[in-house]
Structure 1
Amino acid sequence: MKEVAAAAAVSVGTVSNVLNAPEKVAPATVARVQQAIDRLGFVRNDAARQLKAGRSRCVGLVVLDIGNPFFSDIARAAQERAAAHDLVVLLGSSDDDPERERQYLETFDEQRVFGLMISPSGAGDERIAALRSRGVPVVLVDRDGTGTPFSSVAVDDIAGGDLAVRHLCATGRRRIAVVGGPATLSQIADRRTGARRAAAEHGVQLAIWDTAAPTVLAGRQVGERLAELPPAERPDAVFCVNDLLAIGVLQALTLRGVAVPAEIALVGYDDIDFAQSAIVPLTSIRQPRAAIGSSAVELLIAAAERGGEPEHVCFRPTLVERASTEPIARQPV
């Protein structure tokens, strides 16, 4: 900073103001200092700045699977909102692995991040609580934190599962399979709960087809199993707990000559961009991904600045109807 000050013929304090509070400096002086910074290749020592300020400009974000467009869209929205507050998001994907999640939490703790946003794997609540006890604000993402000391932003997944099965019943389907796991993820467990509730109210058959992970490959494996069943024994509808599974099921059924929706109707969850562009456009339960990411950042800043009781935001999912659930044609009387 001394070299920049000398090159721009200003004081070190003026350089500091240009970097941290440029509105206090005349525009011509800001331009002259910035030219000196560019010419000298000056890069701010953020570690030193962090020691002085007592907090980092970095925010940690840990998601379950960055390969899932649902989480990448949340991360993108969080980055945009954080940038508006002069914060930078450091992103990690736990892949639902508690050990990897632990490593990210330790690293973010060492970096003294401004705060943590996390979609927890379900096994790390104690570690998350430890960060909060050291003054790091925490926001749970895509998980309802009601009853915990953490603020949270989530979607009512019980309502989402209910909505999916009610829609399938309204199209005339009566043998419905719910595909996806593991049930240890609270989001998946809640979607199954909602599906069971709607099935019971409509008096339809409901079967749970578990998977090790909610991925396209797992969906293809389920689709292969469905195609091998005699038509009379197959479900006439499938509700997948996310769109990646539904796309995999659709791929397998199409390759095996099982018509969607004529033989099996199909509903996904998340309404990622691929749902609309699938070979049979996919009906899906939409979650407001951008709003989730933006809200998480705002809750984090509120927790850092005001403290107090945790805040909880819960969005209501919506149904997006497409060709994969066209109603069964009525037979002439």
Structure 2
Amino acid sequence: MSAPSLRQTAGLALLAAFAIALPFAFEPRGYGIRILCLALLFAAMAQAWNIVAGLANQISLGHAAFFGIGAYTSTLLLIHFGITPWLGMMAAAVLGGLAALLISLPTMRLRGHYFALATLAFGEVMRVIGNSWGGLTGGPVGISVPYAKPSLGLMQFADTRASYWLMLGALVVVTVIFVAIKRSRLGYRLRAIKENADAAEVIGVDTTRTKIIAAVISGALTAALGTLYAQFQFFFDPDTVFGVASISVRMAMIAIVGGIGTAAGPILGAFFVIPLEEIANQVFSAQAAGLSQLVFGVLLILVILVEPRGFMAIGPRIRRLLRREER
């Protein structure tokens, strides 16, 4: 094993130990640990979104549809049939993948803002259906997850730190899947499509089929993460889980701020965006209506103006500056 590999292994081991031990620095059921859980969950969601948007440059604004399908699927199975959320999560992934397939068949031939608008419309349609179908979804009133004694089988814990480790595990799984896809033949095809779709078709890449496969994987993972959200929050409504701004745009924003198309980008983005949003709400929400959202938006704009390619591009930029100074 080479020296760089040893350093990388040691670095990953230290990072893993830090991530596992981090929740012990917070109160077991405090506000801080909940923010960490949400940051991990949204990092995983942005990573799932990254598969289709970061690798193939198909910017989806409708991923909230898959997320909401996952949340409702596992919750309804638990309420009506007593099925454990672990199995509900699998059912959610299947339905999320099927929904992604159905929406991808007519839309994956679209590019740029046309594709983004088509997916945005799909997400909005699902939100309207969720609000209208009150007998199944609870409509605007929302739906509550049945709470029983804390148990692993129900994904319900007395200590929020257990939820943290569950979210951490989900992030690791989604990130491993993203890296595996990126290094696979599928990943090379997706990046070829991202660089030049017409040239990729000339060399024999079935661009539509390749993008559909990526979309199905991304949709299935996003739906599975919707189950984790439902079991963590215990209550949600269509506007929350199918919300364009609260889910779809936030996924995209996290990946873009961190570094779209990279494995570490969504993680860095989530641990910047989610705490920043909470801090802005705490500091400015009582000052004036909408002030916290304004401050939060201005800070994000400043970050993107400083480095449009995200946090992952800051390191290489600093190294280039240091090399210039050495010369």
What TM-score bracket applies, with the shorter chain setting the length? under 0.3
Using structure 2 for the length normalisation, give the TM-score: 0.25
- Determine which structure has more spread, i.e. the larger CA radius of gyration: 1
Q: Which has the higher contact order (CA 8 A, sep 6+)?
A: 2
